[in-house]
């Protein structure tokens, strides 16, 4: 069809359509005030970082800990400084059940993509960056734990960077936001296990619930940021009679006697490692070399745990033992083990600064991508909390059904080391 004839046909059709109807004039358009959008933008996008709802676990302080993280994206152009975080029960207008403010917020803030060792707290979140808030809500009784919490987050913001569009001036200098997505609490009790070690003077040097190399091990794996070590414990044996216990100025701690370059001179090295329950062995690695003390080896991700054993405890729960002594595993895949049975010896293999036992529970045999599971130990003696100078012995005594918190000194049943 010629172009001119096509244009004429389109015009005729339009005229015909316009002529359809009753011929009455269109109704007048109603006028009135336009709906108003917020005067300023709220720059923080805050969501829970949850692979499963957190479950309350009783710590060696005698209190219940609900452990989880919030992911805070600063979608504004100004750098953000978080000034307070409040956990609210019963919705946005509910009561405050936990709160952190000022330096404590900084101490629990970790910038995504910043993998320093130890994890470095951040004082501000640059525009376009994301921080993780490592939270630990603490309660005295089970009845005090809410079924769910939302969060009220307050922040201040730095100056507007140059070159921003005029509308960016709508971003505020301060903000107060309440999250939309709740953190729901799992009411099931934590898994109870037996001691993984034997004898006195063990210290949970990396453990729940402060920002530490375990709580800060929040890395992107299998399409999510995974808190694979929330409740994990690094067990190290100390001379708790030494003063100081840790000489921070010289970087020396009372974990060895003799030559600090020899693994054999560390109190932790070559100690019995025990099955924490009747279980089936599902993974064993025992041929990786020991690392020299305080020298980190270059390792593929799957070998960061060094020599290791994974036990299937049943009901979807797996126990992970890492950094074992080379050649020490005494079990093979498929073996059945009994609670208290020696399965290996402590070593210094894998990604480790000095001899220790890494222990955790998880929901699959794959330690890096598994979800960490809270647990308690049913037989131990709480000695106190270790500081660089001494051991604070408040509330010391036999314990059952508690998770050793960071820097807890624990005696397990059994003979002292030879």
DSSP state of 359: E
Domain with CATH 2.60.40 in the chain: 44-184
pLDDT in tens, 43-81: 999 999 977 899 999 999 999 999 999 999 999 999 999
Other C-beta atoms within 10 Å of 28: how many?
6
Token pair belonging to 119? 């994890």
Global pTM reads 0.90
The residues with which 153 forms a beta bridge, in sequence order, are 85, 177
Overall average pLDDT of the 289-317 stretch: 96
Architecture of the domain delimited by 44-184:
Sandwich (2.60)
> How many residues are recorded in the chain?
418
Most confident residue range from 15-24, 32-41, 107-116: 107-116
Check the CA dihedral 114-116-118-121 and report its sign.
negative
What confidence tier does 413 reach under pLDDT thresholds 50, 70, 90? very high
Token pair belonging to 70? 């919030």
The mean pLDDT of the chain is 92
Domain with CATH 2.70.70.10 in the chain: 191-411
Q: Which of 127, 162, 139 is nearest to 57 (CA)?
A: 139
What confidence tier does 30 reach under pLDDT thresholds 50, 70, 90? low
Q: Which residue has the higher pLDDT, 30 or 314?
A: 314
Other C-beta atoms within 10 Å of 174: how many?
11
pLDDT in tens, 313-337: 999 999 999 999 999 999 999 999 9
Q: How far apart are CA 282 and CA 259, in angstroms?
A: 37
Superfamily of domain 191-411: Glucose Permease (Domain IIA) (2.70.70.10)
What confidence tier does 139 reach under pLDDT thresholds 50, 70, 90? very high
Note the pLDDT of residue 418: 64
pLDDT in tens, 208-244: 998 889 998 998 988 889 999 999 999 999 999 999 9
Non-local CB neighbours of 373 within 8 Å, separated by 6+ positions: 190, 191, 231, 317, 360, 361, 362, 363
Q: Which residue has the higher pLDDT, 9 or 51?
A: 51
The residues with which 148 forms a beta bridge, in sequence order, are 184
What single string gives the DSSP state of each residue in 19-37?
A: T-S--PPPPPPP--PPPPP
Vertex 70: Cα angle to 64 and 74 (nearest 5):
155
Which helix (H) or strand (E) segment is 18 a member of?
helix 3-18
What confidence tier does 23 reach under pLDDT thresholds 50, 70, 90? low
């Amino acid at each position: 069809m010629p172009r001119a004839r096509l244009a004429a046909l389109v015009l005729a059709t339009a005229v015909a359509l316009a002529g359809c109807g009753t011929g009455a004039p269109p109704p007048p358009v109603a006028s009135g005030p336009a709906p108003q959008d917020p005067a300023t933008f709220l720059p923080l996008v805050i969501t829970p970082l949850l692979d499963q709802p957190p479950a309350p676990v009783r710590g060696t302080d005698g209190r219940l800990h609900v452990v989880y993280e919030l992911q805070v994206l600063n979608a504004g152009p100004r750098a953000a400084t978080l000034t307070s975080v409040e956990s609210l029960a019963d919705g946005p207008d509910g009561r405050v059940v936990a709160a952190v403010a000022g330096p404590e917020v900084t101490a629990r803030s970790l910038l995504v993509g910043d993998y320093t060792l130890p994890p470095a707290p951040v004082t501000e979140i640059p525009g376009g960056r994301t921080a993780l808030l490592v939270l630990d809500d603490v309660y005295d009784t089970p009845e005090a734990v809410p079924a769910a919490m939302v969060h009220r987050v307050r922040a201040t913001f730095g100056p507007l960077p140059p070159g921003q569009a005029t509308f960016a001036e709508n971003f505020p200098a301060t903000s107060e936001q309440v999250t939309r997505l709740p953190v729901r609490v799992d009411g099931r009790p934590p898994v109870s296990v037996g001691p993984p070690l034997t004898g006195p003077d063990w210290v949970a040097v990396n453990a729940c619930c402060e920002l530490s190399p375990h709580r800060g091990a929040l890395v992107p794996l299998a399409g999510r940021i995974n808190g694979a070590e929330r409740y994990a414990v690094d067990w190290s044996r100390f001379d708790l009679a030494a003063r100081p216990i840790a000489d921070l100025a010289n970087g020396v701690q009372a974990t060895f006697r003799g030559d600090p370059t020899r693994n054999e001179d560390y109190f932790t090295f070559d100690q019995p490692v025990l099955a924490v329950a009747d279980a089936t062995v599902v993974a064993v690695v025992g041929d990786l070399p020991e690392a020299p003390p305080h020298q980190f080896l270059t390792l593929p991700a799957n070998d960061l745990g060094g020599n290791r054993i994974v036990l299937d405890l049943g009901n979807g729960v797996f126990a992970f033992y890492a950094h074992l002594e080379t050649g020490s595993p005494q079990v093979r895949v498929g073996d059945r083990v009994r609670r208290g049975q020696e399965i290996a010896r402590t070593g210094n293999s894998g990604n480790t600064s000095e001899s220790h036992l890494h222990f955790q529970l998880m929901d699959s045999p794959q330690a890096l991508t598994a979800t960490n599971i809270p647990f308690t130990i049913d037989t131990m003696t709480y000695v106190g909390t270790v500081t660089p100078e001494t051991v604070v012995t408040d509330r010391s005594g036999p314990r059952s059904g508690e998770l050793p918190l960071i820097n807890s000194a624990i005696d397990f049943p059994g003979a002292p080391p030879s």
